[in-house]
Structure 1
């Protein structure tokens, strides 16, 4: 199993390097930092423009393959270049990654757990009222953009605060500027700010995971090993939990890894709606500002997240399926 995991990690590292390099190439082709500098008022001298482009490492007069190689080799030294604001991209990623991970990790884990529970429940109670209710609600969530759901939740939270007469739920930013001193007051303030965006991500994830888990669970309900377990004296619930759910979770481990990347993309607009200064906001602002280094760095961050989640899924896959361990 150890050799299998190491081989998979090595493959993922190669894919991450390729994805990051292609992101830099596409950003260099699609973005125009020269226009960003020339559109300033007053327009900087040409010598200053060339100096800034050389400092950022994005001068179009330098061959693209040379710029890509320089950027890629600098990664191993922890240097991802400078933003158009002359700030280190690495520093920006570290600060903003911590902000995004607060939402992504909690929201995705809670969404996965809730989705698996709803999927198993829906499969066991197929076509009953509870199953149909979960199905309809999931389709409604699918049809609603993430940022629209966030705005709707903000409206509901505002009405609830007005009804109670207290600021029970706060949803702008990560924390309040006038938060009281002390660990627990500040912790409660951050929980209040993170509640709504985390809830949105959890609901979006649960809707997706529940549909996938339901279909996977339906495939194993009539399997021979379930009937064998029942014939040996196990109750229906025990046979489903011990044998059915475990087998149905195997494809979920792979689905979780690759849906995590889409969750990162979906949280970009959500961060802007709730004024969270995370990776999603950085990626959108970088495109608007023709910031090649920041766009490539943001893509590298997403690739590393998918690398970690894919590695975790491989470990879960091997733990659930003994055939992989052999």
Structure 2
């Protein structure tokens, strides 16, 4: 198993290097840092701007592969991912925004996974009942609702709740707000600002995962090994949890692994609407701001996340499915 994982890791690393190289070349060709300057302003010295961009290694008039060699050398020797066209450090920007995304996304993602699996399995066991039909309708409504619409609706309901109760229970713009002076006020304030965006993310995940889990559970509930276990006297709940659910989880763990890997960059809308400055928003801002180094750094982080997700998928499948471990 260890040799298999090492071999897969080497393959993923090669693919990651190719992806980052292509991302740098494409970003260098497609993005033009000169476009962010107001050239109608007579006080701007073009030669000075070009020298500055050359110092940042993002001058579009310099050869692309020369810039790539310098950029790669800086990463290998000093882990320096370069600067934005305005001179900000990419390392500092990304290091701050990674933790913002982690605080925002991790809880909502894992709540969505756990809730989706539980709800999907529960719905499958009650196939055809009013409960199953109600869950299916609600899940389809949430899946069909654009994330921005769901976030705005939650904000409207939160405002109405605050007005009706004459409180500020829901605080949902930014990471922090007006903190009180009581013990633990900082933690309470962060939890208040985290509640609504986490709810927005988790509801979408619960609805999506529950549909997958329900369909997989329906396949395993009618399998021969489940009927055999029941025929041998195993209680229904035990047969469902030990045999049906365990086997239905095998395809889901792969989906979960890649979902966790990509969710950091897939919540740009949620981050934007709730005022969180995470990696999703930063990725969009890097492209619109003609930021070559920032765009490539976000792509590289995304590639590392996918690589980690692929390895996590292999490990989780091995943990759930004993046949993989024996092979």
Normalised by the length of structure 1, the TM-score is 0.93
Q: Distance in 2 between matches of 1:43 and 1:286?
A: 26
Q: Distance in 1 between matches of 2:291 and 2:143?
A: 32
Alpha-carbon distance, 1:139 to partner: 1.6
Q: In the TM superposition, what are the counterparts of 1:117-136 in structure 2 within 5 Å?
A: 117-136=118-137
Normalised by the length of structure 2, the TM-score is 0.93
Q: Distance in 1 between matches of 2:40 and 2:180?
A: 42
Q: In the TM superposition, what are the counterparts of 1:126-165 in structure 2 within 5 Å?
A: 126-165=127-166
Cα–Cα, structure 1 residues 169 and 35, in superposed 2: closer, same or farther, change >3 Å? Answer: same
Q: In the TM superposition, what are the counterparts of 1:227-266 in structure 2 within 5 Å?
A: 227-260=227-260, 263-266=263-266
- Per the alignment, residue 210 of structure 1 pairs with 210
- Per the alignment, residue 111 of structure 1 pairs with 112
Q: Distance in 1 between matches of 2:135 and 2:12?
A: 35
Alpha-carbon distance, 1:175 to partner: 0.5
Alpha-carbon distance, 1:310 to partner: 2.5
**More displaced 10-residue stretch of structure 1: 274-283 or 28-37:** 28-37
What's the secondary structure of 1:264's corresponding residue? coil
Cα–Cα, structure 1 residues 296 and 211, in superposed 2: closer, same or farther, change >3 Å? Answer: same
Deviations 1:29-85 (A, max 9, x none): 221112223547345212212112212212223322332333234333311110122
Cα–Cα, structure 1 residues 287 and 256, in superposed 2: closer, same or farther, change >3 Å? Answer: same
Q: Distance in 2 between matches of 1:11 and 1:130?
A: 46
Alpha-carbon distance, 1:12 to partner: 2.5
Aligned residues: 325
Q: Distance in 2 between matches of 1:180 and 1:298?
A: 36
Q: Distance in 2 between matches of 1:271 and 1:41?
A: 34
Cα–Cα, structure 1 residues 215 and 268, in superposed 2: closer, same or farther, change >3 Å? Answer: same
Asked if structure 2 preserves the Cα contact closer than 8 Å seen for 1:253 and 1:314, the reply is no
Q: Distance in 2 between matches of 1:146 and 1:116?
A: 21
Q: Distance in 1 between matches of 2:198 and 2:166?
A: 24
Q: Distance in 1 between matches of 2:324 and 2:256?
A: 18
Asked if structure 1 preserves the Cα contact closer than 8 Å seen for 2:150 and 2:200, the reply is yes
Alpha-carbon distance, 1:208 to partner: 1.4
Alpha-carbon distance, 1:121 to partner: 1.2
5+ unaligned residues in a row in structure 2: which ranges? none
Q: Distance in 1 between matches of 2:320 and 2:110?
A: 18
Deviations 1:187-214 (A, max 9, x none): 0100000000011111111111111111
Q: Distance in 2 between matches of 1:99 and 1:126?
A: 40
**More displaced 10-residue stretch of structure 1: 89-98 or 17-26:** 17-26
**More displaced 10-residue stretch of structure 1: 298-307 or 271-280:** 298-307
